[in-house]
Amino acid sequence: MKKMLTLVLALILALTVVGACAEKQVLTVVTWDATTTPYLVAQEAAFEAKYPDVDLQYIDVASQDYAIKVGTMLSGGDTSDVVMIKEARDIINWQAAGYAAPMTDFIAADGFDVSGYVGTEVNYAVDGVQYALPFRSDFWVLFYNKDLFDAAGVAYPTNDMTWDQYAELAKTMTKDGVYGTHYHTWLSAVANWAVCDGVNTLADREYSDLAYFYNLYQGLEDAGACMAYNELKASGLHYSAAFANGNVAMMPMGYWYVSTLIGYNKEGTCNFNWGITAVPHADGVAAGSSFGNLTGAMINEKSANKELAWKYVSWLCGEEGAAATAATGTRPAWVSENVASTMSAVEGFPTDDASKAALIPSYVGMEWPVVDKLSEIQTVVNEEHSLIMTREIDVEDGIEEMNERVAELFE
Amino acid sequence: MAQTAAKKAGRPMSRLERKNTLIAYSFLAPNFLGFAIFTLIPVVFSVLLSFVKWNGGPISQMEWVGLDNYASIFKIEKVIEKFSEGEFFYFFERVDLGIALKNTIFYTLVTVPLTLICAIALAMALNKAVKGAVAFRTIFFFPYVASMVAICVCWNFMLMKDGPVNQFIQLLGIPFNKSWTADSTMAIWAIVLVSVWRNMGYYMVIYLAALQGVPRELYEAATVDGANKWQQFTNITIPQLQPTTFFASIMMIISCFKIFDVVAIMTEGGPGRATKMLVYYIYDVAFAQNKYGTASAISMVLLVIVLVITIIQFRSEKKFAND
Amino acid sequence: MSEAVASKQTGRQIKKDNPALQLAGKIALYIVLTGVALFTLIPFVWMISSSLKLDREVFAYPMKWIPETFRWENYMLIWQKVPLLTYFKNTAFIAIVVTFLQTLTSSFAAYAFAKLNFKGRDVLFLAYIATIAVPWQAYMLPQFIMMRSMGLYDTLWAMVVLQAFSAFGVFLMRQFYQGVPTELCEAARIDGLSEYGIWARIMLPLSKAAIATLVIFTFVGTWNDYMGPMIYLTRDVNKTIQVGLRRFIQENSSDYHLIMAASLCSLLPVSVVFLCLQKYFIEGIATSGLKG
């Protein structure tokens, strides 16, 4: 069936190439991992199917050095039409340097409906002017290895668990070479949970709200319920391999890992059953609260064809693009009733109801808010994070340092 | 240009001098043209950049700010304020630039002599036609050839808590049981270790090449005079290698001051700021914060330090050559 | 020639003087060399072992030196997953052209710095060294804007012109030329040789070891450069090996086993260059040229 479809698609493509070779408009889009990211492949196919007269060309940049390479390209006057936004600070930097074309007029002229973003699009706006739109919105969920829970005869984690209950569960699951849980080395995996309450952010210059999560983590590390940070950092173990190894019972991770796991199951890299639930919540915070980050697209100020660029961006970030994105197991930024069912219908997605329910979070805070001096704050907080995690300093002292050094940035 | 300089000095250039200068310029021209266009001009531009505020946008957005960039990296006011309060080392303990300077200078002071000694020793040992010299030479040069990303991942593994290096150390009776890169004091030593490991073969090659130029007659004469091996080494080899040592030490000091990739892959400047080095700091300021003027200002600090060291060495080389 | 023979004989005589000590020294030397060689090679052993594992096995903790199953197919996969052959060709092109230009122009310029007197020599030389001291990150952006306006962006020639005229080569060759006795040049001038003649007939033949060094360093440096090609080369047909290697590290997954395999493959050509040239580092190949 699939082969037929590709064949037909290829045929249509070939015919249009022959028929409309001269009139085809080229649209260049700067992105990362273009050939291996399923949603980019799907988006390209769907977009070109709808607009056969447009030839969508990705400019593939290494994901690790995306900001520096693309920043340099833009500074040199690159004329690519659309540039994808990987991190919050990209749009801050590029808007300030004048690389991003304002979209507000396009949005108004088209009557483009932004309600599907449930408010997240303001993260791409500066002084009320929209400079980019999100097309992908990842939030964090809890992955768990069903086979390990079955073998231990312990009930699966649920969508309504407090962090303390989760810690107990992790300790219960820890035995015979099995780790109860796994924390990747990032700040976001360990302490970012403080922003789930909708009040705190990581840029509010007050970090005492992180203490609970650092203490929780250190308790688990001391109990041997998770791999030690120092070892993880030194070995560079990637979280995808850590969970796929099959000796980790739970792992909080971004939703994007779903498509990785589905891929692993298909190619046989791992073959256990897994599920997802909402991440645990703190006392007094609603169940299903999480945090996440956006991936978006901006129109290059230097683009020679901004109308065409807008046509693509509004398609990509709108409902149709969302459908194409969701079909690959990636969560689009545009949330509609169909999106959740499309996502859970993806082949390889866990079939239990709890996993499906986890697709609809009750609240999603931003991993990093868009604020002045964001990059400097990130550097400080991450530096102190590494000191706390290596236990070079106490949790309290580390948080004191965060408060002090971030305050210094604004003196 | 040289002509006008000569006229200003009040001494007209002789025809021969002029001809010689022209010949010299003809030797320089092919390299200098390429060098000037593709390196010198951008470098001079970056000196100017250190006095402007620029986020990489259109050149018209640049804003002349005088010494503001320097004031902000040195945190002048705060440092003076703390100094008057009795915190004399505030700059090296709390300010990013001070910490980066301290780390970089420490790293350089340790790495340069260590690498030089290893390189000379290996070159001396392998200069002779010992059996297996080809194999040894190749093996020692190998680390320099390997790609950095793979190598740093390897070394992180070697230096883990229960990794081979720690096992070896424990065999020697030193009870160290922590991942090097996760320890504030050991992390910088991890970078030193990898640097020496990687570069000793490189400088060994330079010394091997230099040893070929030492006239054999000098050793023969010394042998006749009854000098032993060590005397030959200190009285002939070391002085004869002087131009090479000058080159090697300057190159090594510069490359140590510019250490970046090992830090970026192995420690990311951490834990905390324990291995934050100058260029890693520059990288962060330029490409994460988009403050190219400030990044240039930090580079100028680095440039001044290296230039001072180079000029001192340059002088001593000349003095040495004249003696 | 006769002197060389004579020196060999004296050498033998000295050895005969104290055979026991000589032997002990030799054994000690070999023990030390072998120790250092082991220290040097251990990370490579791990690289080879990792290149034969699955990605998740690479980071398995505690580490395993011998893979459970040897996955030789990793060495096939790297050529299929990315166009590694194209990357090799591009890198080879850049490395060869750069090495050629670099060696030629810097040995030329170095002669002027080392053996000719002209106004502004020291200042110019300091300018060369100063540019080495400025980190590339500081002037990368102005350089990029300039290169782009010249139409060199995303062409292999961008990498050629960026690396072919580096100050490093001039500095290296100058230092070697300084070691060549000035009397030799003076004598040649009296014999009526032009400066170009001196460079071609005296300096070049005398500096074989130095040229071999420069060739190795330039070749290796260009071969392993990452930041330059990363910034300047964008299309897949233009990428180099080091940039291509990073394609195995993606946003949400990494294939370190393939990185290890590919970097081991990329090691081979550079090692061949080194092996071919290392014969110039054996004592006695270069004659000092200093008589009496």
Q: Which of A33, A72, A235 sits opposite C250 (nearest CB)?
A: A33
- CA B90, distance to chain mean position in Å, is 26
Q: Which residue does chain A place closest to C58, by CA atoms?
A: A237
For residue C287, the model assigns a pLDDT of 42
Task: Let me know how long chain C is.
Answer: 292
3-state SS assignment for residue B313: helix
Residue of B nearest to A232 (CA): B160
Residue A157 shares a structural domain with residue A167 = yes
**Does the pLDDT value for residue A114 go beyond 50?**
yes
Report which listed range, B194-198, C212-216, C280-284, is most confident: B194-198
| Number of domains into which chain A is organized | 2
Nearest to C255 by CA among A193, B149, B79, B168: B149
Residue A38: per-residue pLDDT: 85
Name the residue with higher pLDDT: A279 or A10: A279
Q: Are A78 and A302 in contact (CB under 8 A)?
A: yes
Handedness of CA A8, A14, A20, A24 (dihedral sign): positive
User: Which domain covers residue A339, as residue numbers?
Assistant: 2-138+293-344
Short-list C157, C180, C120, C132, CA closest to C238 = C157
Q: How many CB atoms lie within 10 A of CB B12?
A: 11
**d(Cα A138, Cα A258) in Å, to the nearest integer?**
11
- Check CB contact under 8 Å for A75 and B56: yes
The chain A residue lying nearest B265, using CA atoms, is A236
- Cα dist from C90 to A119, A145, C160, whole Å: 47, 45, 11
Residue A225 and residue A324 in one domain: no
Which pLDDT value is given to residue A211?
94
pLDDT for the residue numbered C254: 76
Backbone angles phi, psi at A335, to 5 degrees: -100, 120
The size of the B-C interface in CB pairs under 8 A is: 311
Cα–Cα dist C206/A207, whole Å:
67
- Do A32 and A47 fall into the same domain? yes
Closest in C33, C113, C137 to B282, CB measured: C137
Distance (Å, whole) CA A244 – CA C231: 34
Nearest to A294 by CA among A368, A196, A197: A368
Q: Which of residues 124-143 of B touch C (CB under 8 A)?
A: 125-130, 133-134, 136-143
Copy the structure tokens of residue B38: 């593709």
Cβ proximity of C279 and C285 under 8 Å? yes
Contacts of B300 (CB under 8 A, 6+ apart): B47, B50, B70
Q: Are strands A25-32 and A54-61 parallel, antiparallel or unpaired?
A: parallel
Contact A247, A144 (CB under 8 A): no
The single-letter code of the amino acid at B298 is I
Write down the pLDDT at residue B142: 87
Is it the case that residue A216 has pLDDT exceeding 90?
yes
For residues A239 and A126, state if they share a domain: no
CA C161 vs. chain centroid, Å, equals: 18
CB under 8 Å to B130, separation ≥6 — which residues?
Answer: B136, C26, C29
ipTM of predicted assembly, 2 dp: 0.83
What is the residue whose two structure tokens read 């007659």?
A: B217
Q: Which of C230, C249, C250 sits opposite A69 (nearest CB)?
A: C230
User: Among residues A44, A88, A147, which one has the least CA distance to residue A372?
Assistant: A88
Q: Tell me the per-residue pLDDT of C46-66, one tens digit each, with 9 for 90 and over.
A: 899 989 988 777 777 667 788
* A148 and A224 housed in the same domain: yes
Dmax of chain C from CA atoms?
72
pLDDT score recorded for residue A251: 96
Least CB–CB distance from A383: residue in B182, B183, B270: B270
| Averaged pLDDT score across all residues of chain C | 83
- Strands A82-85 and A25-32 come out as parallel
Q: Residue A363: which of A256, A276, A292, A288 has the closest Cα?
A: A288
pLDDT at C3: 43
Contacts of A241 in chain C (CB under 8 A): 55-56, 58-59, 254
Q: What percent of chain C lies above the pLDDT cut of 90?
A: 25
Looking at the complex, does the CB of residue B61 fall below 8 Å from at least one CB of chain A? yes
In this prediction, residues A332-341 reach a mean pLDDT of 81
The CATH superfamily of B68-322 is: MetI-like (1.10.3720.10)
Residues A213 and A309 in one domain: no
Higher-pLDDT residue of C59, A323: A323
Residue C290 has pLDDT above 60, yes or no: no
Q: What tens digit of pLDDT does each residue of B122-138 get?
A: 998 888 767 788 889 88
Which positions in chain B touch A229 (Cβ < 8 Å)?
182
pLDDT score recorded for residue A9: 56
Average pLDDT over residues A35-48: 90
Rounded to 5 degrees, what are φ and ψ at A85? -105, 120
Q: Which of A139-153, C131-145, C162-176 has maximum average pLDDT?
A: A139-153
Mean pLDDT of A244-263: 90
Mean pLDDT confidence for C168-175: 89
Beta bridge partners of A60: A31
Q: In terms of CA atoms, which chain C residue is nearest residue A270?
A: C56
C150 touches chain A (CB under 8 A): no
Average pLDDT on C4-22 reads 55
Checking phi first, is residue B10 left (phi over 0); if not, alpha (psi -120 to 50) or beta? left
Distance in angstroms (rounded) separating the CA atoms of residues B65 and C180:
50
Residue A172 reports pLDDT greater than 80: yes
Positions of E strands within C70-123: none
Contacts of residue A120, Cβ cutoff 8 Å, sequence gap at least 6: A134, A137, A294, A333, A364, A366
pLDDT of residue B8: 47
DSSP state of B181: G
Residue A264: closest CA among chain C residues belongs to which residue? C253
Q: What does residue A268 show for φ and ψ, rounded to 5 degrees? A: 85, 10
Domain boundaries, chain C: 2-73, 75-281
Query: C150, B38 in Cβ contact below 8 A?
Result: no
Tokens 């324990």 correspond to what residue? B274
Q: Same domain, yes or no, for A161 and A225?
A: yes
Say yes or no: C189 contacts chain A, CB-CB below 8 A.
no
Residues A279 and A221 in one domain: yes
pLDDT digits (tens, 9 = 90+) for A220-244: 999 999 999 988 888 778 888 889 8
- Which of B267, B289, B291, B294 is most worth mutating to test chain A (most A CB atoms within 10 A of its CB)? B289
What distance in Å separates residue A302's CA from the closest CA in chain B? 11
Residue B221 distance to chain A (closest CA, Å):
55
Residues of chain A with Cβ-Cβ distance to B163 below 8 Å are 234
Q: pLDDT-based confidence at C1, cuts 50/70/90? A: very low
pLDDT at B278: 92
Furthest-apart CA atoms within chain A: distance in Å: 69
Per-residue pLDDT, averaged over A119-135, amounts to 91
Neighbours of chain A (3+ CB pairs under 8 A): B, C
What is the distance between the alpha carbons of residues B205 and A168, in angstroms, rounded to a whole number?
59
Place of tokens 């507000």: A104
Cβ–Cβ below 8 Å for C141 and A72: yes
> What are the CA-CA distances from residue A390 to residues A30, A210, B228 (Å)?
37, 16, 53
- The strand ranges marked E within chain B are 52-53, 63-64
Q: Which of A296-305, B9-18, C210-219 has the lowest mean pLDDT?
A: B9-18
Question: Helix, strand or coil for residue A295?
Answer: strand
> CA–CA separation, C107 vs C57, rounded Å?
49
Chain C residue numbers with beta carbons less than 8 Å from the beta carbon of A33 are 250-251
Strand partners, A143: A251, A276
Give the whole-angstrom CA distance, residue B49 versus residue B37.
Answer: 18
Nearest to A293 by CA among A344, A366, A364: A366
Fold of C75-281: MetI-like fold (1.10.3720)
Residue from C220, C236, C227 nearest C84 by CA: C236
pTM of the model: 0.87
Whether residue A2 has pLDDT greater than 70: no
**Residue C176 pLDDT level (bands cut at 50, 70, 90):** confident
pLDDT digits (tens, 9 = 90+) for A43-89: 999 999 999 999 999 999 988 889 989 999 998 889 999 999 998 88
Q: Do the Cβ atoms of A121 and A130 come closer than 8 Å?
A: yes
For residue C93, name the pLDDT band (cuts at 50, 70, 90). Answer: very high
**What number of C-beta contacts closer than 8 Å exist between A and B?**
90
Task: Give the residues of chain B that fall short of pLDDT 50.
Answer: 1-9
Band of pLDDT at residue C278, cut at 50, 70 and 90: confident
- The answer to whether the CB atoms of C144 and A76 lie below 8 A apart is yes
Residue with tokens 């002509």: B3
Q: Is residue C6 over pLDDT 70?
A: no
Look at B209 and C209 and tell me if their CB atoms are within 8 Å.
yes
Summary mean pLDDT of chain A: 89
C279: confidence class by pLDDT, cuts 50, 70, 90: confident
> Which amino acid type is present at position A191?
A
Fill in the amino acid letter for A254.
Answer: G
Say how far apart CA B248 and CA C175 lie, in whole Å.
10
Q: Are residues A103 and A216 in the same domain?
A: no
Please report where in the chains the tokens 């499906």 appear, as a residue. Answer: A356
pLDDT at A407: 92
Cα separation, B27 vs C116, whole angstroms: 10
Question: C-chain residues within 8 Å CB-CB of B210?
Answer: 176, 179, 209
- Per-residue confidence at A117, pLDDT binned at 50, 70, 90? confident
C145 touches chain A (CB under 8 A): yes
CATH number of residue A72's parent domain: 3.40.190.10
Smallest Cβ–Cβ distance between B145 and the set C47, C169, C270 belongs to C270
- In which residue ranges of chain B is CATH 1.10.3720.10 found? 68-322
pLDDT above 70 as % of chain A: 94
Q: What does DSSP say about strands A248-254 and A179-181: parallel, antiparallel, or unpaired?
A: parallel
What pLDDT is stored for residue B12 in this prediction? 64
**Tokens for A178?**
């099995």
Which chain A residues contact residue B188 at CB under 8 A?
Answer: none
